[in-house]
Structure 1
């Protein structure tokens, strides 16, 4: 399942620490095949997974020529891995989920769709028994209104149902108004999805112009990960973090509901918040907790 990861300790990291890290990496009970994981999901030791992730990150960190900066980042990476490892042994840790009896698909040659409610993204119905909608994402700078409009029109002409654009800041949020207006003026009703990271106020601003807003719960309020360690996480800390998320998310939800627009909670495994990593480790449970 995982290949052996080799790394060289950075200057300032003791050989004993690096050796211990290597031993933990080598001895971790991570299954080597998908079959082994399916037969015994609990064998996928979180410490081993964390060590593999940490080892890969460490290999990149030690390649830098800035010695002092590499030392600091490497030490933070070690501490983060250790925290995740300790969390794996804490009470209440949930084992990895196994597939349901019989698997997810009844027949390999037949597609079975689960019954869901219809969600309208602009004029395009998604879910239920409606045809599966195709969505793409633009590669232009969103601030380049002409280039973005041209690319969306080209995609629509090829049969794409929905177009997603990245909205990094207020400049891009304001551009969404012009992009949507230009498309409508040219007879294109392709729904536009705003892809939001880090900035709740940007989501609120572009909600007036786009048909759907996608937020990443891993960084919607917590921002970019800094690899600072969380040595302790109390119930009060968790409640405070959840209150912050609610304060940022509720106004957006109410605004979209008022305007009859859709929202997507798009979890990204690579950008789980540090609090979630500390609580659940690098696991599917962490992705679920991040979403709900």
Structure 2
């Protein structure tokens, strides 16, 4: 199988220099390997994603000199695949519905008998309040969580993965997944759509991604994705987590950093080569 990678932005704001670095790195690496570079639009956040921002994603990437294959996979068009994955995991006895709000979780995690709240890639580790509920009890107002202990024990051997970036691969262990990651959300209660961890593994398989190139802020989420890939019998890509582009105070750039938006630099007369120099390429 050849080299296939992707850039997968959410159209919730203008692309900034951090996006430029990630997209250019993935594009250049694919071209150097004689491989394929794909674009994916992660637009399941219907409250924040807009068609205008999606159009700007295409414009900014094309201006930077990137080319990609069409049609572009849009998550809002792929909901049946996510629901099929949820159904499969539910029938395996690995999911349960959850009616807890974020406030409920904060209060449970900060209760005196619980000690100091523990954090996982998704925030506070879920205390397991709804773990007793059967999968068949799911309603339209529930989130869906993975019972991590059952998921780990479902596999004879825990999978491992290859990392070629700045971080060594994190070894999957039962203790880490159960105690330090916990029962992650696979479908959100607010929008009834697949959460990031589920959609990204389903999409990477659908696009036959062989190499995932993304920021180091997602390195700790990779064991979750590798576990889901093993549970769903999906291929496990090679992962490469790159450095983040930061501001003068050392904070990583966010969508709200409009002053570093690609479109603004472009309007001020910058060239694509200028952007490459700004991000160190």
What TM-score do the two structures reach when normalised by structure 1?
Answer: 0.23
Tell me: higher relative CO, structure 1 or 2? Use CA pairs within 8 A at least 6 residues apart: 2
- Identify the structure with the greater helix proportion: 1
Query: Scaled by the length of structure 2, what TM-score is found?
Result: 0.24
Structure whose CA Rg is larger: 1
